[in-house]
Amino acid sequence: MQETASTCPYCGVGCGVIIESEGAQITGVRGDPAHPANFGRLCTKGATLHRTASRSVTLQTRLLQPLHRARRGDTPQALSWDAALDLAAQRFADTIGRQGPDAVGFYVSGQLLTEDYYVFNKLARGLIGTNNIDSNSRLCMSSAVAGYKATLGADAPPACYDDLRHAQCLFIVGSNTAWAHPVLFRRIEDARAANPGLKLIVADPRRTDTAAMADLFLPLQPGSDVMLFNGMLHLMLWEGWIDAAFIAAHTTGFAALKALVRDCTPERVAQVCGIAQDDLVRAAQWFATGASGDPQRRGATLSLYCQGLNQSRSGTAKNAALINLHLACAQIGRPGAGPFSLTGQPNAMGGREVGALANLLGAHRDLANPQHRAEVAALWGLPSVPAQPGRSAVEMFQAAADGEIKALWIACTNPAQSMPDQATVRRALQRAEFVLLQEAFATSATAQYADLLLPASTWGEKTGTVTNSERRISRVRAAVPAPGQARHDWAIAVQFAHRLEALLRPGQRSLFPYDTADADLGAQSVWNEHRESTRGRDLDISGLSWALLESAGPQQWPYPAGATTGKARLYEDAVFATADGRARFAAHPWQPTAEQRDAHYPWSLNTGRLRDQWHGMTRTATLGRLFGHAAEPCVQMHPQDMARQRLRDGDLVQLSSRRGAIVLPVQADATLGLAQVFIAMHWGSEFLSGRAPGGEPLAGVNALCTAALCPTSKQPELKHAAVQLVRAELP
Ligand code: SF4
């Protein structure tokens, strides 16, 4: 038996795992006791990775060879890798030649490793000359990126997991940490056990398992977070709980924010948010003083937040309004204090680092900044990189549906199930002249639309790095060879790029001089190039080497040249990543959700994760044991609402939004507020019965969700849609 240290591929906690294998078979997995994210612990999903990755399962669910459809709707036929890559390069070159580089788009994934992301970014911007590259991370954390940049000056979560041990007050908002980041939640439980004085505040529309643990639960009305945060600041000002000296010395913009929150009175906040005024006062006091009650003896407050803040048309405003509170009370830059966004996917952070969002460039550079574009061009040995803004995820599919993007490359993500407003996504996939899907799983709902399918390796087979929520870079290692003809994502992109270079810039030096013969060497050389690009930037890892990651294990960034360790927490000197070193308060008024309940659509739909399932279930649906927690999809609603609708558990209801309808059994759930319904996001078309208004089948509950975007982060509002609900009968 062989043992290989690697990282769990499911969530942004980034737990270390030891993979046990025999030959080509993964036989077991256990937590890595040496990994600082989990110290040996795993949650149910992580602990069953070997079962979902076993050969007998993967040979049924995996894409094992390149496949091509000569015509849409045909059964795809096998072809060789050479033929597939030649075809892809020719189709992309033709499209670029006829329509220009912005007629192609790349939609990539937080499942990719940092090295995969890096190559795709260079392929799109450097070789093709388009900024049409975006990641499905746009759907989960682009508001966190925008919030950090607007206030602290850089997309860098300032806190770390160890801060849980030092905090006196934890403020969890928009995150069911107990289910979505289970191993991190175990650390919260440990912190509470070690410190009985630690106060836990949870704000959420649902009384989740996380909320059930809270000392103070704030059952927010959906979308009212900014009003809550502004109302807390109003009280902090009124009661003298702010830190005026810190504000004066280290921030700008407080006067405008102070004026904005003047009318966020407790009465108004209670009415908009649906919470008791006494609870609001308690939350503001605990937050500001770190639960001590006395601003002269301030304890430390740590905020943890996730999709409830991010997946909103006010996503940036929500993030910034929460960070405002940390700045106003000097709850940042010391042990146990700070805003701490949690990433959903295992490597959403890595994508941010290499610029795999349309508006970013590598190493946290901004596309809109001419100096940053010049730096990237110099690093790549090019005269320039394109300045034309790229399309974000929703915009990219809208552009394809409108006929403006003709060729789409989709890597390791399933937009036909996961994007909001699936009718538009389906139109995009049908109208695009060429759709290439690079994917490990043949079961993806997007596969039916692809002209060319390229089989990719996946967890247990890949080599590279990922970065978790606390900026910690961990090695991902291959324990077994990829099945069939599957290849590594970065290598597929490089092999395609070499062919496209021959067509677009023949005879010139290749931009992709990576060794594709050996996975480890190739990934390492891509990583080395990425490392050099970070020199002098806020995420500088010029002092880190592949060898050090091998010998010393996972490391946090920044890790500049000369450092002997990474930085656990940022801004300890209160010098922020802005031009003048001062953090910026961002004054955002509260705005309601994009769709509000009305007489026609009187229910609020909320979506979210189950404890034991992952994304669109491509991995987890293969293991019966992971259905023990929730066996089938359902609509959850409050028992009082069910009584009013004369519904009982198991009755079928049809839930309709302006974009589609879905039929599911109803289930009583007293954790929900009145007039709210909840559906887990994982269930695909094989579990669902529903139709879009045009009659097409729905591939997931996100079909009901609106594509309304946060104007800054371009993140869609997946957490709220107005819906109607009627009893349905079996046909
Ligand atoms: Fe994997 Fe996340 Fe569970 Fe850790 S908490 S084992 S990273 S799914």
Output the six-digit token pair for 76. 């795809």
CATH of region 67-137+347-506: 3.40.50.740
Confidence class of residue 689 from pLDDT cuts 50, 70 and 90?
A: low
Higher pLDDT: 717 or 662? It is: 717
**Model pLDDT, residue 497:** 98
Q: Which ligand 1 atom is at minimum distance from the Cα of 41?
A: 6
Ramachandran quadrant class, 562 (left: phi over 0; alpha: psi -120 to 50; beta: rest) = left
pLDDT at 731 over 60: no
Q: Which ligand 1 atom is at minimum distance from the Cα of 42?
A: 6
Residue 709 — φ and ψ, nearest 5°?
Answer: -115, 150
pLDDT at 694 over 80: no
Nearest CA to ligand 1 atom 3: 43
C-alpha distances (whole Å) from 667 to each of 209, 609, 625, 664, 723 are 17, 16, 21, 9, 17
For domain 2-61, give its CATH number from 3.40.50.970, 2.115.10.20, 3.30.930.10, 2.20.25.90.
Answer: 2.20.25.90
**Model pLDDT, residue 454:** 98
Residue 522, ligand 1, Cβ within 6 A = no
At 234-283, the pLDDT tens digits run 999 999 999 999 999 999 999 999 999 999 999 999 999 999 999 999 99
Every domain of the chain and the residues it spans: 2-61, 67-137+347-506, 142-342, 603-727
Which of 225, 203, 469 is closest to 344 using CA atoms? 469
Confidence class of residue 147 from pLDDT cuts 50, 70 and 90?
A: very high
**Model pLDDT, residue 620:** 77
Instruction: State pTM to two decimals.
Output: 0.96
Report the alpha-carbon distance of residue 234 to residue 228 in Å, rounded.
10
* DSSP assignment of 345-387: STTHHHHHHHT-STTEETTTEETT-HHHHHHHHHHHT-S----
Q: How many CA atoms within 13 Å lie on the side-chain side of 438?
A: 28
**Model pLDDT, residue 157:** 97
Residue 8, ligand 1, Cβ within 6 A = yes
**Model pLDDT, residue 586:** 98
Q: State the DSSP code for 403.
A: T
Residue 170 — φ and ψ, nearest 5°?
Answer: -110, 130
Report the alpha-carbon distance of residue 524 to residue 509 in Å, rounded.
20
Residue 68, ligand 1, Cβ within 6 A = no
């990126």: which residue's tokens? 145
At 165-218, the pLDDT tens digits run 999 999 999 999 999 999 999 999 999 999 999 999 999 999 999 999 999 999
Amino acid identity for residue 391 in this structure: R
Report the alpha-carbon distance of residue 203 to residue 181 in Å, rounded.
17
Amino acid identity for residue 654 in this structure: Q
Residue 10, ligand 1, Cβ within 6 A = yes
Ligand 1 centre distance from Cα of residue 12 (Å): 7
10 Å CB burial of residue 47 (0-12, 13-18, 19+) is middle
Tell me the range of 235-239, 676-680, 704-708 where mean pLDDT is highest.
235-239
Confidence class of residue 59 from pLDDT cuts 50, 70 and 90?
A: confident
**Model pLDDT, residue 588:** 97
Report the alpha-carbon distance of residue 43 to residue 591 in Å, rounded.
37
CA angle 496, 501, 504 (to 5 degrees): 125
Which of 625, 634, 608 is closest to 689 using CA atoms? 634
Please give the average per-residue pLDDT across 345-354, as a whole number: 91
Residue 46, ligand 1, Cβ within 6 A = yes
Higher pLDDT: 57 or 82? It is: 82
Residue 161, ligand 1, Cβ within 6 A = no
Residue 269, ligand 1, Cβ within 6 A = no
pLDDT at 693 over 80: no
Q: Where are the alpha helices (DSSP H) in 381-488?
A: 393-401, 415-418, 422-431
**Model pLDDT, residue 630:** 82
> Which residues, 6+ apart, have CB-to-CB distance to 428 below 8 Å?
397, 398, 399, 400, 401, 405, 408
Residue 12, ligand 1, Cβ within 6 A = no
Ligand 1 centre distance from Cα of residue 342 (Å): 12
Q: State the DSSP code for 441.
A: B
Which of 648, 344, 649 is closest to 468 using CA atoms? 344
Q: Where are the alpha helices (DSSP H) in 622-709?
A: 639-644
Residue 671 — φ and ψ, nearest 5°?
Answer: -80, -15
Nearest CA to ligand 1 atom 5: 183
At 464-489, the pLDDT tens digits run 999 999 999 999 999 999 999 999 99
Confidence class of residue 686 from pLDDT cuts 50, 70 and 90?
A: low
3-state secondary structure at position 622: helix
Q: What is the mean pLDDT of the chain?
A: 94
The distance of Cα 4 from the centroid of its chain, to the nearest Å, equals 27
24-28, 201-205, 591-595, 661-665: the lowest-pLDDT one: 661-665
Q: Which ligand 1 atom is at minimum distance from the Cα of 31?
A: 6
Please give the average per-residue pLDDT across 507-522, as a whole number: 90
At 296-311, the pLDDT tens digits run 999 999 999 999 999 9
At 321-333, the pLDDT tens digits run 999 999 999 999 9
For helices 315-328 and 142-151, angle between their N-to-C axes, nearest 10 degrees: 40
Amino acid identity for residue 532 in this structure: E
- What is the CATH superfamily name and number for domain 142-342? Dimethylsulfoxide Reductase, domain 2 (3.40.228.10)
Task: State percent of the chain over pLDDT 70.
Answer: 98
Output the six-digit token pair for 33. 């006791």
pLDDT at 631 over 80: no
Ramachandran quadrant class, 73 (left: phi over 0; alpha: psi -120 to 50; beta: rest) = left
Residue 16, ligand 1, Cβ within 6 A = no
**Model pLDDT, residue 133:** 98
For domain 603-727, give its CATH number from 3.50.50.100, 2.40.40.20, 1.10.10.10, 3.40.1030.10.
Answer: 2.40.40.20
Residue 178, ligand 1, Cβ within 6 A = no
Q: How many CA atoms within 13 Å lie on the side-chain side of 557?
A: 27
Confidence class of residue 517 from pLDDT cuts 50, 70 and 90?
A: confident
Q: How many secondary structure helices (H) and strands (E) does the chain include? A: 26, 29
At 391-411, the pLDDT tens digits run 999 999 999 999 999 999 999
> Which residues, 6+ apart, have CB-to-CB distance to 493 below 8 Å?
116, 119, 120, 123, 411
ipTM for the predicted complex comes to 1.00
At 617-626, the pLDDT tens digits run 777 777 788 8
